[in-house]
Amino acid sequence: MSKKTFVTKELIEEIVKKYPTPFHIYDEKGIRENAQAVKEAFAWNEGFKEYFAVKATPTPYLIQILREYGCGCDCSSMTELMLSKAIGVTGADIMFSSNDTPAEEYEYAAKLGAIINLDDITHIEFLEETIGKLPETMSCRYNPGGVFVMSNGIMDNPGDSKYGFTTEQMFEGFRILKAKGVKNFGIHAFLASNTVTNEYYPILAKQLFEIAVQLEKETGADIKFINLSGGVGIPYQPDQEENDIREIGEGVRKVYEEVLVPAGMGDIALYTEMGRFMMGPYGALVTQAIHEKHTHKEFIGVDACAVNLMRPAMYGSYHHITVLGKEEEACDYKYDITGSLCENNDKFAIDRMLPKIDMGDYIVIHDTGAHGYAMGYNYNGKLRSAELLLKEDGNAELIRRAETPKDYFATFDGLDIYSKLEEEF
């Protein structure tokens, strides 16, 4: 089976005249169509809001596109909060879903008026000590423990995860918050990651709706929103069937009408914090084949490496690969596609069947729009690439320039690196 890219060889040959490989490129049309579909899928819920998980793709131009579809920002660090503020996202348009949170981040989140989603019961006191009076609106992250299983056998392991309050702590936490004057309550949970099934949100929602009913009954807390967080996945593999966001929205609606409406809680707003689903398929890493090596295996060396996309090295993740201009050719060569790091896990693909690759070929690594550029690092002194936006009019625009050596050396205050490297710069 094949997976299509949103770029062609001709387009990339044009772009590289101005912006050399490697770079991440994003598909504006795809981002917009998907954001619109998400909006429509949950339009039945009056207060619905997607808080884009900034960590997935912290690129202002892209988040600004999502803003046009009503999205806010889900942040969990100081710089993510700062980035949101800088692009005009403040107040209840920010969900601060952090954990192990330093005091200054709570302070700043409160200053921006963000909704604070507590990860731990001890943070009630910590937050109060940090900012004084608690905000009127507070959310708590729930972790029921155990395993989370869906009917296709996919599971995740909340019982092992560091996040969230236990069931008991949710009840205790809501009571304490209420006693401290909190008026509006939210519940949040993130129990399974990259789920490629339409079932995840509906199953999660049912669990959260049921505990919401009990919490309201037993603590008297006024629950205003339920946050299904992230975890909606994308088909990285060519044989996976993609999620249907409309079906997911309908599935959630069904349990909403089953559980919340009869309990008189049919005015609760639903929030999501999707990252991967909003951006993943609409980004690609474009790189060029620069070496071939025939030893114990067949290797193709490219000009990108794991610092541009860490997922294969870190998780062994599959990312589909297209050799531009050879889309229709038979995949009868077996390659390892490697980067240049002094790390043997720096491979974008292992034993991958592909068309014959010639030096100079442009290679597209799919689905890098979320948790791609964002997980970049500087190992081996490698620099982060540029990010480009393929606009709806077909033009490519630079939305983040590539790092230069000057950026890499910028933090050695007091060591006069620049003057010693004047020629190089």
Ligand X SMILES: *Cc1c(COP(=O)(O)O)cnc(C)c1O
CB nearer ligand X, residue 300 or residue 375: 375
Pick out residues in 89-128 that bind ligand X (CB under 6 A).
97
Amino acid at 318: Y
Query: Cα–Cα distance between 189 and 265 in angstroms, integer?
Result: 19
CB nearer ligand X, residue 152 or residue 404: 152
Query: Cα–Cα distance between 413 and 266 in angstroms, integer?
Result: 57
Tell me: does residue 53 bind ligand X (CB under 6 A): yes
At its nearest, how many Å lie between ligand X and the CB of residue 95? 8
At its nearest, how many Å lie between ligand X and the CB of residue 360? 34
Cβ proximity of 275 and 52 under 8 Å: yes
Which segments within 339-423 are labelled E, that is strand? 347-354, 362-365, 386-390, 396-400
Phi and psi, residue 145, nearest 5° = 75, -170
Tell me: does residue 80 bind ligand X (CB under 6 A): no
Q: Binding ligand X by CB under 6 A: which of 50, 74, 156, 303?
A: 74
Q: Binding ligand X by CB under 6 A: which of 118, 124, 370, 386?
A: 370
CB nearer ligand X, residue 165 or residue 277: 277
Tell me: does residue 190 bind ligand X (CB under 6 A): yes
At its nearest, how many Å lie between ligand X and the CB of residue 335? 29
Tell me: does residue 84 bind ligand X (CB under 6 A): no
At its nearest, how many Å lie between ligand X and the CB of residue 16? 30
Query: Which listed range, 15-23, 224-232, 354-362, 393-401, lies at the site for ligand X (CB under 6 A)?
Result: 224-232
Phi and psi, residue 358, nearest 5° = -105, 155
Query: Which listed range, 15-23, 142-150, 230-238, 311-319, lies at the site for ligand X (CB under 6 A)?
Result: 230-238
Tell me: does residue 303 bind ligand X (CB under 6 A): no
Count residues near ligand X (CB under 6 A): 19
For 212-235, letters b (16+ CB in 10 Å) and e give bbebbeebebebbbbbbbbbbbbb
Cβ proximity of 348 and 365 under 8 Å: yes
At its nearest, how many Å lie between ligand X and the CB of residue 275? 3
Q: Binding ligand X by CB under 6 A: which of 58, 186, 231, 372?
A: 231
Which segments within 283-368 are labelled E, that is strand? 283-294, 298-302, 321-323, 333-338, 347-354, 362-365
Contacts of 414 (CB under 8 A, 6+ apart): none
CB nearer ligand X, residue 23 or residue 51: 51
CB nearer ligand X, residue 346 or residue 367: 367
Cβ proximity of 112 and 91 under 8 Å: yes
CB nearer ligand X, residue 12 or residue 270: 270
DSSP 265-276: -TT-EEEE--SH
At its nearest, how many Å lie between ligand X and the CB of residue 52? 9
Contacts of 128 (CB under 8 A, 6+ apart): 134, 180
CB nearer ligand X, residue 243 or residue 322: 243
Tell me: does residue 216 bind ligand X (CB under 6 A): no
Residue of this chain nearest to ligand X (CB atom): 230
Tell me: does residue 55 bind ligand X (CB under 6 A): yes
**Beta pairing class for 269-272 and 72-75:** unpaired
What residue has token string 């069931």?
Answer: 167
Tell me: does residue 81 bind ligand X (CB under 6 A): no
Cα Rg, the chain, nearest whole Å: 23
Amino acid at 20: P
Pick out residues in 269-298 that bind ligand X (CB under 6 A).
273-277
Query: Cα–Cα distance between 62 and 389 in angstroms, integer?
Result: 8
Tell me: does residue 72 bind ligand X (CB under 6 A): no
- Binding-site ranges for ligand X (CB under 6 A): 53, 55-56, 74, 76, 97, 190, 193-194, 229-232, 273-277, 370
